[in-house]
Amino acid sequence: MNIKKIFPSADAEEIKFLEEISYTEEKKKGDVLFFEGDEPEYVYYLINGIVKLFKTTLNNGKEITINYILPKAFVGEFASLKNIRYPFSAEMETDGEVLKFRANEFISFIRSNANLSYEMLIYMADKIQKNYEYCENLVEKNVRKKIAKFLKEHEDLFFKLNKNKIASILNITPETFSRTLKEMKREGLIIERTVVKINKEKIEEILVE
């Protein structure tokens, strides 16, 4: 993983230090990054794959999914920043790869570096905005727009994930998702030949409706 892509302002010496306190790790579907109540040992950055965040109810042990983390994002980093235990669990929803920074050294380094602190601040602001957009997407009634937005932002995942899983992420019933997907294929929004691809111009038309 090119750390420069995570922290563009980092110089060669800073990148070297960040590389020394981190390593990449391949993950399989179902692997747990951390459990609710654990103390942060690492700061995780998702390189590829999808992570499910969930809580477990005390009365019956039921699992409640609260969010999905998509690639190129930190996972549970605020627990390390605030020095608190994780308020939820994180599990790989698909096979993937994560970059693991040793938490104490990472946080100390970020706090002592104004430029990297600012980049983390911008990242957190972007994440809040994306969470807001995610909530908007959950209540969006236009199913075509939901699917079009996911296609535009995560085309590679769209053709790798189980369609029922995408429906769950988008808060759409599998039946509605399947029916809408067939309509979009008939309209040429999704083209299936030897290689499956999307018609980006038509996808943009849906998003600006």
- Cα Rg of the chain, angstroms: 19
Q: Quick check: 209 pLDDT over 80? A: no
**∠ at Cα 76 (82, 39), nearest 5°?**
60
- Name the CATH topology of 3-137: Jelly Rolls (2.60.120)
What stretch of H or E contains 86?
none
For the ranges 44-48, 125-129, 132-136, 140-144, the lowest mean pLDDT is seen at 132-136
* Integer Cα distance of 80 and 39 in angstroms: 8
pTM: 0.72
Residues of the chain with CATH 2.60.120.10: 3-137
Query: Residue 136 — pLDDT band, cuts 50, 70, 90?
Result: low
Q: Where, residue-wise, is CATH 1.10.10.10 in the chain?
A: 141-207
- Return the pLDDT at 203: 67
The DSSP secondary structure of 19-57, one letter per residue, reads HHTEEEEEE-TT-EEE-TTPPP-EEEEEEES-EEEEEE-
pLDDT category, 195, cuts 50, 70, 90?
A: very low
Q: How far apart are CA 119 and CA 125, in angstroms?
A: 10
Question: What's the CATH code, domain 141-207?
Answer: 1.10.10.10
Q: H-helix or E-strand containing 126?
A: helix 114-139
